[in-house]
Amino acid sequence: MKWLPNSIRWRIQLWHGLLLLAVLVVFGATAWRLQYNNEIRLLDGRLHLLLSELHTGLAHGGDAAPRVEPDELALLLGVPDLGPPAQAQAARPADDLPHYHRIWWRDGSVNEDHGSVPPGLTLPPRSGAVEQRTHEGFREVYQFTPPGECLLVGVPESVISTQMHAFTLWVVGLCSVVLVLGVAGGWWMASRAIAPIRDISDAAQRIASGHLKERIPVADTESELGQLASVLNDTFTQLDAAFEQQARFTSDAAHELRTPVAIILAQTQLALAKPRTVEAHVKTIEMARRSAERMQELIESLLTLAKADAGAEATRETVHLDALSRENLDHIRPLAEEKKITLHDDLPPTTCKAHPGHVAQILTNLLGNAVKYCRAGDEVRVSTYRQNGHAILTVADTGPGIPIEHLPHLFDRFYRADASRNRSSGGAGLGLAICKTLVEAHGGRISVESRLRKGTTFQVILPA
């Protein structure tokens, strides 16, 4: 509804107020109707008593008639019991009750009038019992005697109107007080219910302004809003960690690129500073070329990670993991022989559903790391096999191993373990991070086990 305020508190308060008003209207109408029926019943009782006195006086030839008790009246006139003694006392006729009566003879002529008889009052239809009616603003009770006379007693309805007006004012006043108290209580309750939402909004605004360490205070974790606040706090924690990782990643990337750029600038400035021999220029160009190649390798690695982070879908096809492993072993074999490292393989036919280029990059990174950090006389073994609907690749070496405290961070970007895995070896700390990213993009898992002076084993599990 466009006419409702945008505030949730106002909407709750408005609906609460309307509901309370509807309940009070129904209550007031019901109370008024019950009170009106009760007044009519009491008035009819008083009219019945007046009618009984008139009937008794007529039977005594016009003499003053004695009072008739309510229970005697019920037996005499055949009307319902007038109720408990308190109600019967209230039903006794008062001396100041502005009533009137009329008596008709058997032939229908008027015998006697008393009080302010309304003009145009006609003989009611004959009946064998005491009857009551509302006629042109008057409440009347009448009875026909066995010989045929008709006795009628009535009062103006204004008697009830005055009492009902006072009762109406009382009901309206009571309902108004209840409505005011209910609206005030509803506003207080709505404010307490909305307070956690305000805290969530304020905390979110502070976080959006750059205070990433800010969290939403949670007083009751069992309530719906408490659970929402807990979920949002977890989300903010993950966002904070992601921003920190992004900032660290950017800083590390800039640091890695700065070194080869500095080398290229230094060599070119040196070459331009003074005349040099051809051999010196060749050496300068060669150093600049190696620095450029290192920059190219780093940039390609960063692009690979950026594409994976963006969720770019790669075309998947059936990959023969054994053949691809054998091909990568052949590529790295000259380097292994140069370092006197022995390569072994156990490659039964094994297929998986993946992107061939990504699997080749995973193999290149794992084999390159194994050969790079192994010592002369160490061994590297590559194996593939199928298990439980998965294709499994393992690359194990007998190298120096990795300290256990570094294993949890080994797949972090730009992370290096110790002196055996630092920048002097030429790595930027992105190879294993790329492996983890590509493996998980294929719905797989990668893990590592290592023991100092015993070797390291990497295991890659891909969907077959």
Position 418 scores a pLDDT of: 54
pLDDT band at residue 147 under the 50/70/90 scheme:
confident
Query: Is it the case that residue 5 has pLDDT exceeding 70?
Result: no
pLDDT band at residue 88 under the 50/70/90 scheme:
very low
pLDDT tens per residue across span 105-132: 988 888 888 888 888 888 898 887 888 8
* 33-40: average pLDDT: 90
Q: Which is nearest to 355 in space by CA: 300, 309, 317? A: 317
Position 64 scores a pLDDT of: 39
Query: Is it the case that residue 4 has pLDDT exceeding 60?
Result: no
Q: Which is nearest to 428 in space by CA: 307, 256, 260, 304? A: 256
pLDDT tens per residue across span 169-226: 999 999 999 999 988 888 888 777 777 777 778 877 887 777 777 777 776 667 777 7
Pick from 34-38, 56-60, 190-194 the range whose average pLDDT is largest. 34-38
Q: Report how far residue 54's alpha carbon sits from residue 72's, in angstroms, rounded to the nearest whole number.
A: 15
What's the mean per-residue pLDDT of the chain? 81
Give me the residues paired with residue 143 across strands.
151
Query: Is it the case that residue 165 has pLDDT exceeding 60?
Result: yes
Query: Is it the case that residue 139 has pLDDT exceeding 60?
Result: yes
With b for 16 or more beta-carbon neighbours within 10 A and e for fewer, the 17-38 pattern comes to eeebeeebeeeeeebeeebeee
Q: Report how far residue 437's alpha carbon sits from residue 415's, in angstroms, rounded to the nearest whole number.
A: 15
Query: Is it the case that residue 326 has pLDDT exceeding 90?
Result: yes
* 93-112: average pLDDT: 79
User: Which residue is it, tokens 């069992």?
Assistant: 222
Please give the C-alpha separations between residue 302 and each of 91, 121, 249, 429, in angstroms, as whole numbers.
100, 108, 10, 11
Give me the residues paired with residue 345 across strands.
382
pLDDT band at residue 96 under the 50/70/90 scheme:
low
Position 340 scores a pLDDT of: 93
